[in-house]
Every structure is written in C-alpha cells, then in structure tokens.
Structure 1
Amino acid sequence: MKILKIALILALGGIGSQAFADDSHSTAATSNTPVENYAYGTKLDIKKVIAVSDIPDQCGPVPAQMTYEDSNGQRHILQYQVMGTGCSNG
C-alpha cells in the first residue's frame, strides 16, 4: 500500500513538472513574438488560440491581447480593443 502511494505521488509529480516545462517554453516563444495591432478588416488566420488576456475592471474601451497559432504553426500576438468589465447597467 505504501509503495502504491509513493508511485502515485511520483507519477503526479512527473506529470506536473512536464506541464510546467511546456508552459515555460510557450512563454519563451511568446516573448520573442512581436505584437500586431488589429484594424477593422484585417484578415486573420487563426488555427489555435493559445491565450487571451484578462479584461480590466474599467468602464470604457481597454486593450486586450490574444496569442494564437496560424495554419503554418507560427505564433502571433494580436492586440485589440474591448469594452472593460467595470460598467454597470443600472
């Protein structure tokens, strides 16, 4: 029973370290990617969305970013404007 618990802990620890290693690789690749500004009518080739930034708690337009991969596997960072989440309806 004790060996089973140790094996389970080691397996979960190994999976967690692999997930952390993969996350740090994606952060390193993202830091070298230039930020592109979205303009109305821009043609986008989005195959996979990797990350979307949090929307600030402000009332009014605020910048947001989306990291994605295109159909060629290249990573892009797109900056665009969204409405903040701080506006009340009442």
Structure 2
Amino acid sequence: MKALVVLALSSLCATAMADEIPTDVASKTAPVEQYTYSSHPDIQKVISMSETPDVCEVVPARMVYEDSQGVRHTMEYRVMGNGCSHG
C-alpha cells in the first residue's frame, strides 16, 4: 500500500515538474511579430526564411532576422504560394 502511495506521489511530482519546463522555454523565445504594410522593420541581416509551398493560395511565411542592434526577431507575413500556373 505504501508503495502505491509513493508511486502516485512521484508521478504527480514528475507531472508538475514537466509543466514548468515549457514555461521556461516559452519565456526565452521571442514573440512572433505580424507584418503589416505600416511596419518598418529594422532588418540588418536575414537569418532564415521559411519555404513557400507549391499551392495556389496565400499562405503564411516566416523570416528570422537580426536588427541593427543584433537582436533576433521572427516575423510572420503572407505570400502567394508557388503552385499557380502562369498561363
């Protein structure tokens, strides 16, 4: 009986500790900025850009860049997919 209680408490503690880990990681990641036509981002260096899928519709894309202060940003914007025929 004592073994069951210990097992139940240890699993509860492990679950509580697992809940704390994503919170720490989430606080260290920068929020995703949404691009608008009125945005004037300070882009000094592009780190990466997401690939545009082969679909014929507007899709979200992301760009990771550094500004002139060396701070890394992630910006989400909308692009037309590469799957449209040109004829």
User: Normalization by structure 2: what TM-score?
Assistant: 0.66
Deviation at 1:58, TM superposition (A): 0.7
1:77 and 2:74 correspond: yes
Aligned to 1:43: 40
| Equivalent residue letter for 1:38 | Y
Q: Deviations over 1:4-54 (max 9, x none)?
A: xxxxxxxxxxxxxxxxxxxxxxxx9xx812110001110110000000000
| Equivalent residue letter for 1:77 | T
Identity among equivalent positions (%) equals 54
| Equivalent residue letter for 2:57 | G
Q: CA RMSD in A?
A: 1.6
**3-state secondary structure, aligned to 1:76:** strand
Q: Distance in 2 between matches of 1:75 and 1:86?
A: 31
> 4+ residue runs of structure 1 moved beyond 6 angstroms?
none
Q: Distance in 2 between matches of 1:55 and 1:43?
A: 23
Q: List gaps (5 residues or longer) in structure 2.
A: 1-24
| Equivalent residue letter for 2:34 | N
Tell me the number of residue pairs that the alignment of Structure 1 and Structure 2 aligns.
61
Aligned to 1:88: 85
Q: List gaps (5 residues or longer) in structure 1.
A: 1-27
Larger Cα Rg: Structure 1 or Structure 2? 2
